[in-house]
């Protein structure tokens, strides 16, 4: 694979998608951030994987912004250069297309974000529990900012010690 | 001292169990078992099965995921059995205290006989902890 520079990645993305790339910035050496709208997200990921050859999905992260009523999904791709595709979805209805049909290995990352933030990745064939214990209460997502931490703490099985 | 106690304090076999440790304590436990520190002079041997072990050496904060496995291993051990918590995390969940995914210490899940603090404890501290437990078993404490 020929070595793409950070600038070349941004240029090729702009060339292909035009205005649908809402923002693209190079924040430092080997770091590229691309902001897109949710409908374009999958297509951009596919372009980066298939056409730019950055097939490796390092991880998928989610951030909860309760004040702005949105959640941000970030897909980090690449090996030498990390290209991050970020997109914001509404907090009330956190749904986004899966990218498992583009990069099958991203399934575990999607399941993690689903587990911890409650984001539904539409089309993921196996969106089941991965990190949380099996007896975890339904509908509580520990990485959301408004989660009642006092209530979801593990209750000691024995001893009087307070958590 | 009864025969069982006498035999137990001369061959305390260990089972090492990681309940979510960062591996620092595990490395120190392994270092304590090397010939340099020679825990075997106390008759200590590392065993691979809970059914052969007398002392359960637990490292790391007890996560909610590992709780059921820990209880299962603890129940598989034959009586008399003893538990040693190695490191700050096993003693009191350490820096993970008050997190949603860990118990506030090993003693919140199973009874603990000896606590070895440190992050991680030195092999000397682990040997001291085990030796103190043996002393307690001999009735010298």
The set of residues, in sequence order, having a beta carbon less than 8 Å from that of B59 and lying 6+ positions away, is B16, B17, B18, B19, B21, B25, B26, B29, B86, B87, B89, B90
Is position A161 within any domain?
A: no
- Report the pLDDT averaged over residues B132-137: 91
**Cα–Cα distance between B118 and B14 in angstroms, integer?**
20
Please determine, for residue A57, whether its predicted confidence score (pLDDT) is greater than 80.
yes
Q: What ipTM was predicted for this assembly?
A: 0.71
Which residue, among A129, A155, A163, would best test binding to B if mutated, counting the most B CBs under 10 Å from its CB? A163
What letter would DSSP give residue B31?
Answer: H
**Cα–Cα distance between A26 and A7 in angstroms, integer?**
8
Residue B26: count other Cβ atoms within 10 Å of its Cβ. Answer: 19
Is position A81 within any domain?
A: yes
Is position A14 within any domain?
A: yes
**Cα–Cα distance between B20 and B82 in angstroms, integer?**
20
Is position A32 within any domain?
A: yes
Q: In residues, how long is chain A? A: 163
CA–centroid distance for A128 within its chain: 16
Is position A158 within any domain?
A: no
Domains defined for chain B, CATH in brackets: 3-137 (3.40.50.12280)
- Report the pLDDT averaged over residues B117-135: 93
Cβ–Cβ of A161/B111 closer than 8 Å?
no
A84-140, pLDDT tens digit by residue?
A: 999 999 999 999 999 999 999 899 999 999 999 999 999 888 888 888 888 888 888
Q: What is the CA radius of gyration of chain B?
A: 14
Query: How many separate domains does chain A show?
Result: 1
Single pTM value for the model: 0.81
| Chain A nearest CA to B78, separation (Å) | 21
**Cα–Cα distance between B30 and B35 in angstroms, integer?**
10
B63-113, pLDDT tens digit by residue?
A: 998 999 999 999 999 988 999 999 999 999 999 988 888 999 899 999 999
Which residue, among B70, B93, B104, would best test binding to A if mutated, counting the most A CBs under 10 Å from its CB? B104
Which residues of chain A are at the B interface, by a Cβ-Cβ cutoff of 8 Å?
131-133, 135-136, 142, 147, 149, 152-154, 156-159, 161-163
Residue B80: count other Cβ atoms within 10 Å of its Cβ. Answer: 11
- Report the pLDDT averaged over residues B47-75: 93
**Cα–Cα distance between B122 and B28 in angstroms, integer?**
6
Is position A113 within any domain?
A: yes
The set of residues, in sequence order, having a beta carbon less than 8 Å from that of B89 and lying 6+ positions away, is B20, B21, B22, B25, B59, B60, B61, B95, B96, B119
Q: Provide the CATH number for the domain around residue A65.
A: 3.30.460.80
Cβ–Cβ of A158/B109 closer than 8 Å?
yes
CA–centroid distance for B130 within its chain: 8
- Report the pLDDT averaged over residues B120-135: 93
Domain of A129 in residue numbering reads as 6-152
Q: Rounded to the nearest 5 degrees, what angle is found at the Cα of A154, between the Cα atoms of A152 and A155?
A: 110
A4-13, pLDDT tens digit by residue?
A: 888 999 999 9
Assign B78 to helix, strand or coil: coil
Query: How many CB contacts within 8 angstroms connect chain A with chain B?
Result: 50
Model confidence band, residue A2 (pLDDT cutoffs 50, 70, 90): low
| CA-based nearest residue to B14, from B72, B82, B61, B71 | B82
**Cα–Cα distance between B139 and B128 in angstroms, integer?**
16
Is position A159 within any domain?
A: no
């Amino acid at each position: 694979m020929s070595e793409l520079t950070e600038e070349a990645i941004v240029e090729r993305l702009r060339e292909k998608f035009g205005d649908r790339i809402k923002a693209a910035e190079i924040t430092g050496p080997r770091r590229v951030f691309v902001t897109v709208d949710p409908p374009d997200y999958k297509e951009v990921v596919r372009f980066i994987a298939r056409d730019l050859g950055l097939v490796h999905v390092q991880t998928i992260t989610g951030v909860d912004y309760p004040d702005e009523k949105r959640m941000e999904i970030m897909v980090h791709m690449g090996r030498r250069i990390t290209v991050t595709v970020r997109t914001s979805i509404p907090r009330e209805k956190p749904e986004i297309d899966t990218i498992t049909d583009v990069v099958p290995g991203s399934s575990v990352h999607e399941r993690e974000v689903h587990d911890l933030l409650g984001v539904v990745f539409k089309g993921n064939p196996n969106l089941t529990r991965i990190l949380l214990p099996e007896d975890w209460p339904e509908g509580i997502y520990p990485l959301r900012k408004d989660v009642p931490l006092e209530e979801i703490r593990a209750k000691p099985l024995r001893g009087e010690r307070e958590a | 001292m009864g025969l069982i106690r006498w035999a137990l304090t001369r061959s305390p076999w260990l089972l090492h169990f990681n309940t979510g440790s960062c591996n620092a304590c595990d490395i120190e436990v392994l270092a304590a078992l090397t010939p340099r520190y020679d825990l075997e002079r106390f008759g200590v041997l590392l065993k691979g099965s809970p059914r052969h072990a007398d002392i359960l050496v637990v490292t790391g904060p007890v996560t909610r995921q590992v709780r059921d496995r820990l209880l299962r291993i603890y129940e598989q051990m034959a009586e008399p059995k003893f538990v040693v918590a190695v490191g700050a995390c096993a003693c009191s969940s350490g820096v993970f205290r008050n997190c949603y995914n860990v118990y506030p210490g090993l003693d919140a899940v199973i009874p603990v006989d000896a606590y070895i603090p440190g992050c991680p404890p030195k092999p000397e501290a682990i040997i001291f902890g085990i030796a103190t437990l043996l002393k307690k078993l001999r009735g010298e404490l």
